[in-house]
Structure 1
Amino acid sequence: MAETYNGYCVKCREKRDFSGEIHENNNRRMAKGKCPTCGTTVTRILGKAKV
């Protein structure tokens, strides 16, 4: 399920809205997607997963 998130693009050096999917690693949730301007991978850490 793709949702819209706001994250920092390192290449553009600006905050961008991106549509991404949630990945879980070590009980941490992270939204991962592509920057709509340059195509670089943008990530945003969301917090601990509900157990």
Structure 2
Amino acid sequence: MVLFLDLGCGDGYIISQLKHMRNPSRVLGVDVSDVALEKCKKLSIKTQN
């Protein structure tokens, strides 16, 4: 099982690239920006503010 946590994930670009390279079981992006988190959600990245 591969888990990936990105603190300060921004728009999710790095997470989306790692999802394609490593195929993690679970990905979580954390950021203080609601706008950035909405972009991540569109990429199917679970987020937390």
* TMscore range, shorter length: under 0.3
Structure with greater proportional strand content: 1
More RCO (CA 8 Å, sep 6+): 2
Structure with greater proportional helix content: 2
TM-score of the aligned structures, taking structure 2 as reference length: 0.25
Larger radius of gyration: 1
TM-score of the aligned structures, taking structure 1 as reference length: 0.25
